Structures are given as C-alpha cells and as structure tokens.
Structure 1
Amino acid sequence: MTGHPTVDGSVRPGWEAVREAFVQGQAQDPGHAQLAVHHHGRLVVDLWSTGAAATGTGGPGTGVPGPRPFGPDSVGVLMSVSKALVAVCAHLLSERGVLDLDAPVARSWPEFAASGKAETTVADLLAHRAGLPAFTADPGGTPLPGLLDAAARTRALAAMRPVWQPGSAFLYHALTYGHLVGEVVRRVSGRSVGRLFAEEVAGPLGLDLWIGLPQREEHRFVPQSAGPPPTAERIAAAVGGLGLAPDHPLGTSLRASAAEVAGVIEVLGHREGRAAGIPAAGGIGNARSLSRLYAALIGRVDGIRLLSPRTLELARTPHTDHLPQPAPLHRFDGPDRSRFGLGFELPRPGEPLLGTGSFGHAGAGGRLGMAHPESGLAVGYVCTAMTWEPSAGPDPRWVPWTTAVREAAGLPVPA
C-alpha cells in the first residue's frame, strides 16, 4: 500500500455506516472507485474514492491524454457488468411482444439454425446454455475474425457447432453472450443493442452508461489498471488438468475464452475499443448511473420503471440450477458454481450480491451492479484497479459496505 485513499461524497441520514464501510473496503485499493446506492428509487449513497496511486495514464493510441482527475462523474470500463445492459434490452423487447424468449433464435436469425442449433432458444442465450462459450476458429482453417469485427464474429457464431447440446448444460459465455443476444436484439428491433440501450434506457433515465462510448464523453473516461493476464502456458496447463485431449472442443473453447478476455482488456485501453461497443464486456459508465438503472428495474425512478414485476420475476428466476456444467467440468460442480437467471447472475457464496432474491452482474476486476426488489435496494460499484480474483471468494472491497448496506435497509446479514 502506498497511502490512504481519499473518500468524498454524501450519504443520507441512516446510511452513515456505509461511508465508514466504503472507507474500510478501499483502504488497501491503489485505484479509484465509486459506490452508489438507491433505496426505493432515491439516491441514498453517492461516494467515490481516489486511490493513493493513479491507476491509468494516457499515451499514444489510447485516446487518453494523461492521468485524469477522478470524481462522481468519471466513467470507466464495466467489463461483464455490461451483460446486464444487454439483458435489459432483450427483456424490454420481450415485454413489447416483439421478442419471444422461449422461441428458437432462428426465428429472428435464420442463419443461426446451422450446425445443430435450430432448436436453441433466446432463453438459452441469456442463461449461458447455448453451447457457444467462446469464439473459436473454423476447423477448416478459416481464421478467427478480429475482436472488433462484430459482423464477422456474428457470422462465425451462426455457423459454429455447439460444444454441448444447447439447453442441456451451461457454462459462462464470457464474450459470445453479447454478440449472440445483441444480434437477436438487432434482428427484431432494427437497431444495434448499443443504440437501443441509448435510446430506450439511458436516454429516458439520464444515465451515463454506454455500449459504445461517444467521442464527446472521452474526456470523462478514466482507464483501468489490470494485473498481468494469464499466459498461454498457464491456460494450457489449467485445461490440461481437466484431462481433455488437446483438440477437445471444450478445451479449445476454454483456452480461447481466457485469451480473448485478456485481449478485450487490452483493446478497451484504446479509443477504438471503447467506441466499438463490445456488448459483453465493453460497457462504459459510473456507479451512480449503474445504481439508477437497477433502481428503475425494480421500481419507479422519477416516474420511470423499465420492467414490469412479471418480467423482473422471470429475469431473476434460476434457469441453470437444474443443469450440470458440460463434461468433464460437471465433476467440479459444487455450492459455489455460477448461477444464472435470464441475463443476470444470482447469488452464490463467492458472489453473494444482496442475498436471497437479489440479482445483478459482476465484472472482471471487481465491478458490480445489483438489486434486491423486496427491500428496494439497488447498488452500483465501479473500480479502476482490477484486483478481484473470483476463485478466492467475494472481492474484499465489497464485503464491508455490502454488510453495511444490508444492515441499513433491514436485510439479514450472513454470519
């Protein structure tokens, strides 16, 4: 540690303990962070922490001229928190009757029926059950499209053969999720998922959230700092430990997924990557807007409610608890395996969110958005230092303030 972080912002009466807990959680964090909490649609916590060390600098090709001041209006990378933004768009279209989540994807995207995917449903995409957990090269030798070639990547997914029978197992679709659900959104709405989100969600609510950061907002962007990405050797060793043959489709997918997440972290450090609107991981925003989004999912915020109670209930209902992970990963199933609703993560020991009944989505490095409908809580947390290691349990930065938020709202706190 190089010094103590500076915490600023405000809390409403009755929420003072959250400030103290946020200070505690950020005490060892060299980066910057924001925490916002809405309670029954009202902003009750709006805090930000300026780390002792700058977490990002600009330079040639980054689109960022140098170290940036950090505050409540700063915006940063959301990583997989972005998946919830995409899910909101799908649920909006479902409510309007233009998208049937139980219908085959091929109904709106005919090319997707290729290679045994004719019966794959939109719900399979949202719940990570589609058997397409990573972008992989065609066995015939066709090279994999570049990270920012969205059209080519979408075509590749349409042609790809699933790693498992869709609907029979689940595994996190780290990057493919965004292109899969995003293409369905585009097919039925005529708009990219980034444009639909901007026009139907962020605009009406006044959110500083984007899937594709506009040039005019670049001056507010604060870069992230990432730890060293896994090396190819480490990835290969981990996959080899599963006992998979070198050419096993699941092993190929796992290696590809890990490598591509590292690639996305790199590309989001450049203006081109932030503008591209990578839907599974490239969202940009701040905690205040993330919390406001979740508040509008569970209730009214300035007269706006995004989803009906019925749609919300469907979104947070478990859709993978009854399924195994694909073989041989099923051997490692345990109490802390991932849990998914339709487009959202559900609480588990390593990512408890706000407890039973809550839903949300975490992002690589420690970002987090979540809500608990019964208590009226909605929370956004955005950080610049990517320090969370999911296999080790909850991010230590979350633990103090999550407890304080639950106590302030009268929710039970785990022993």
Structure 2
Amino acid sequence: VVGADDGFSPEEIADDRAIAARLAAQRPFWRPGTAFGYHALGVGALAGEVVFRATGRTLQELYEERVRAPHGLDFHLGLPEELEGRFRSVLPMDPTPEQQALLASLPTGPHTLGAIAFNRNAAEPTVLEALPNSRLVRAKGQASAGGVASARGLARMYAAAVTGIEGGEPLLKADTVAAFGQIQSAGHDLVARAHKVFAVGFQATSEAWYPCLGAGSIGHSGAGGSQAFADPRSGLTYGYTRRRFAFPGGPAPENERLVRAVHDAALAVG
C-alpha cells in the first residue's frame, strides 16, 4: 500500500488514524515481498496505528511523554499554540528556467503510483510545501509530514536515541540501533522511479546519500531539503533545515558539502 486509490481529504491527511483506517482495507499495489516503494504520507500513520493498538495511546502522546519532553527536544509532533510564533512558513521551490524545463519533462499522471503516494490524485490534491503551513497539520503532528523542528532539534533527537545526551543513557540499545540500520530494501523504488536503499523505517543514509558515513547510519531526508541522521560508528548526529523547497526535491544539494565537513570535523575531534 502506498496511498488511497481515490485520495485523502485535507482533514484526513492531517489525521494519522484516518489515514490508517483507509489504508487497512486497501489491496496492495504489488505482491508483498516482490518490490518496494516510498510511502510518502502513509508510513507514519501505519506505524502510529501499530503503536495505538499495542498501547491504546497515540504515537504523538508517547513521543511527547517519553522522548520530546524528557530530553527537551525542539522537535514537536503536535506544535503547541504558544509556540506558533516561532514557526516560519515553508516556501515553494524556485527553479531556474532550465530546472523548470526538466521538471516539466517528467510529468506525473494523477493515477500513477507516485501521484497516489503523494496524494496528488485526490479531489483536492496535496501540495507538499503547503502541508506544514497548515495549522491543522502542525497541531495534530501527522507523523509523516506534520513534525515541526529546528535543525538542532533534529540532531538532538537522534543523539538522545542513539548516543545519549548530557551524560544520559541513549533511548535505544546498541543492538536495536544495529537492527534499525540493517538494509531491508535496495533497488528500484516503484514510487520514486529511482534507485533507493532503505533500512528498518529509515533511509540507509550512508548508502543512499553520504558514503563518507559509517555503515549502519540511519536517518531521513525531508521533501523540502532538510536532512537528519545518526552515524553510530562515529557518534555523529546531524540536522539541517531550510525554508524553501530545494530542487529537485529530497535533501538539498548543499547537504553533501555540509555532511562531509561536519563528518571530517567530528573525526578530527574524536
């Protein structure tokens, strides 16, 4: 499953449980185990539904109680009203004429897997850069696209999980981190129509984007150009955000230079 055949409404796309309920009854788009594709707006809802059925509480509630609040993370799944003043709206991509021509040469029809995964097949098609600008999405903290964070908040979240912060123990055991970093899918992504490498719930960051990182690095990029990850072998965690969507989508190209620089600096200090 990558998305709803007839799309999600704006109200549904902000609500993880509404997405999960719609996806639960849907036939998969390919035989399980034969292929893979990027679940752009659905993976957080599906993971959250597993959490809810196991605990009776939402992913957002448990994240706030067990992860964000105890570690003082500047990363919210459900942005409180009193912090709205710190939010800065996301800006659309501003491609050059040459970049725009390239984008126009790769049209995506409304019934393709890519359009379904990104909810562009709905009666009101989802515009990715508009999602975080919706107060409803920010308030509900939709797990795939509704998180609000600073770059420091992203890096600190991975540090809390993998290395521990301020002398505290990490949230995850070393063997759990290693399991998360084990590659599960590598090859042609049917949604992205490109070569992709995924670990367990994360992108395999060293294989997918930054080969300078150690094997087993885990993280994820954002559609608007952001990037965050943890490299357990070096102890490096990284967060980067930007307001304007980067061409052509996914992690902004400047991350390649920045990741190499901070990686080299971390190794030199170590």
Name the counterpart of 2:32.
166
Separation in structure 2 between the aligned mates of residue 144 and residue 270 of structure 1, nearest angstrom: 15
Query: Which whole-Å deviations, capped at 9, do the CAs of 1:91-124 have from their partners, x for residues lacking one?
Result: xxxxxxxxxxxxxxxxxxxxxxxxxxxxxxxxxx
Q: Secondary structure at the match of 2:73?
A: coil
Structure 2 gaps of 5+ residues are 96-102
Structural RMSD (CA): 3.0
Matched letter for residue 33 of structure 2: G
1:180 aligns with 2:46: yes
Larger RCO (alpha carbons 8 Å, 6+ apart)? 1
**Is the contact made by 2:197 and 2:207 (CA closer than 8 Å) also made in structure 1?**
no
Matched letter for residue 402 of structure 1: V
Separation in structure 2 between the aligned mates of residue 316 and residue 237 of structure 1, nearest angstrom: 32
State how 1:180-329 maps to structure 2 within 5 Å.
180-227=46-93, 238-239=107-108, 251-260=111-120, 262-302=126-166, 303-321=168-186, 325-326=189-190
**Is the contact made by 2:108 and 2:114 (CA closer than 8 Å) also made in structure 1?**
yes
**Is the contact made by 1:227 and 1:387 (CA closer than 8 Å) also made in structure 2?**
yes
Q: Structure 1's 179 and 356: CA in aligned 2 closer, same or farther, altered over 3 A?
A: same
1:287 CA drift (Å): 1.3
Name the counterpart of 1:30.
none
Q: Structure 1's 177 and 236: CA in aligned 2 closer, same or farther, altered over 3 A?
A: farther
Q: Structure 1's 168 and 390: CA in aligned 2 closer, same or farther, altered over 3 A?
A: same
Name the counterpart of 1:378.
237
**Is the contact made by 2:16 and 2:44 (CA closer than 8 Å) also made in structure 1?**
no
1:396 aligns with 2:261: no
State how 1:16-95 maps to structure 2 within 5 Å.
none
Matched letter for residue 254 of structure 2: R
**Is the contact made by 2:205 and 2:220 (CA closer than 8 Å) also made in structure 1?**
no
The alignment of Structure 1 onto Structure 2 pairs a total of residues equal to 254
Separation in structure 2 between the aligned mates of residue 184 and residue 136 of structure 1, nearest angstrom: 22
Q: Structure 1's 259 and 300: CA in aligned 2 closer, same or farther, altered over 3 A?
A: closer
**Is the contact made by 1:347 and 1:354 (CA closer than 8 Å) also made in structure 2?**
no
1:313 CA drift (Å): 0.3
Q: Which has the larger radius of gyration?
A: 1
Separation in structure 1 between the aligned mates of residue 15 and residue 229 of structure 2, nearest angstrom: 31
**Is the contact made by 2:75 and 2:153 (CA closer than 8 Å) also made in structure 1?**
yes
- After the TM superposition, which segments of 4 or more aligned residues of structure 1 sit over 4 Å from their partners? 234-237, 259-262, 323-326
Q: Structure 1's 208 and 348: CA in aligned 2 closer, same or farther, altered over 3 A?
A: closer
Separation in structure 2 between the aligned mates of residue 324 and residue 400 of structure 1, nearest angstrom: 26
Percent identity, please: 33
